[in-house]
Structure 1
Amino acid sequence: MANLSDFNATELNAAGSQLTNDASKYGNNPDLEMQWAVKSYHHAETYFNLICSVDPTVLKLTKIDDDLYTEFRKEFPDLKIDIIQEDQLKSVESKAKWRPFLNAYEKIIEDFNFGTLLRLDCSKAYTEENSILVVRIQFLAIEIARNREGYNSPLRLQKREKSEQNT
């Protein structure tokens, strides 16, 4: 399997342009899956750099962050978000609970069901072991909660301390 580093900028751009086409016109094509992976990886990398650079508690990810956070915590009040267990999102029971929440945002959040990488342990960076593929609205709900509840804040401080040590 190819790695993202195996592609040049032109190839990555070409892959990205295919992602705007109607998904129903594609079968299970490994090249297309790699294109989705590339786009998801770039999104994850950009988001991680953002939360390491600015105070995540004041970060706005959507125009409806307040509503999304309120509804998320109303539907999932006890969901532990600092360290996510895969079955909290992917078990049959969890999927049944998440489905109405996700579908409520179909016409509100663009690409609400786009595959997006989520860090399982929010104190760590994106790695193969610390990432799970979720739909965009799950990512947004969990990351907005992590930002508001201060779970992502230590990342910025860790980055600042590392840069001070390197100077």
Structure 2
Amino acid sequence: MAAPFGAAGSDLGALGPAEAAAAARALSLPAEAFGNDPAVELIWAARAHQHAEVHFNLISSVDPQFLKLTKADDQIYAQFRKSFGDLRIDVLDPEDLKSVPAKEKWRPFCLQFEGIVEDFNYGTLLRLDCSQGYSEENTILATRIQFFAIEIARNREGCNRAVYHRTRVASLATEEMSSG
């Protein structure tokens, strides 16, 4: 099993405040300014990793059914289920995101959120199996709006509760051991 993101030895978690500020400045420039610059790819990877880590910590510590990920959660969820009513979200099939027919279906869905969701088409890490954490085997690259649509649905439909409950049980067990 691969080490989880942010594990010791990972270059992605090593950004300090100065590097993070530089990364933010660099990421605000148009893509044409960079070409295929490996430094930009590392900055993007660090930002995507940070986003994934924050998201997982959030669903681990707060009951996901009460989470609001964006100001447009209701609109995103309604449009998502209207467009992808039969999409299985607990365990995603990468083909449902990456195949040519899937991309043709996702494109209009994503574009309707331009101007509504900041960085709607920005690359983001998405867990394939929502009962598990972020790992190399359980992660796929998706657009930010795909991430929001799927994670909002997972929260509302109870799929992310497994992570929250597992964390709560572990926390209670630790508390009992330390007080006993």
What code does the residue aligned with 2:118 have? E
Percent of aligned pairs sharing the same letter: 52
Q: Which residue of 1 aligns with 2:145?
A: 137
Unaligned regions of 5+ residues in structure 2, if any? 1-9, 176-180
- 1:65 is displaced (CA, Å) by 0.8
RMSD between aligned alpha carbons? 1.4
Which aligned pairs between 1:45-84 and structure 2 lie closer than 5 A? 45-84=53-92
**Closer, same or farther in 2 for the Cα pair 1:7/1:158, shift >3 Å?**
same
What CA distance in whole angstroms lies between the structure 1 residues aligned with 2:108 and 2:15? 38
* Cα pair distance change 1:42/1:97, threshold 3 Å: same
* C-alpha distance in structure 2 between counterparts of 1:142 and 1:66, whole Å: 13
**Alpha-carbon separation, structure 1, partners of 2:12 and 2:18:** 13
Q: Give TM-score, length-normalised by structure 1.
A: 0.93
Match of 1:103 in 2: 111
State the Cα deviation string for residues 44-77 of structure 1 (Å, max 9, x = none).
Answer: 0001100111111111111111111011001001
Q: For residue 119 of structure 1, what is the amino acid of its counterpart? A: R
**1:86 aligns with one of 91, 94, 100:** 94
Any gaps of 5 or more consecutive residues in structure 1? none
2 CA distance for matches of 1:63 and 1:5? 28
Of residues 15, 34, 39, the one that matches 2:23 is: 15
Structure 2 residue identity aligned to 1:11: E
Q: How many residues align?
A: 166
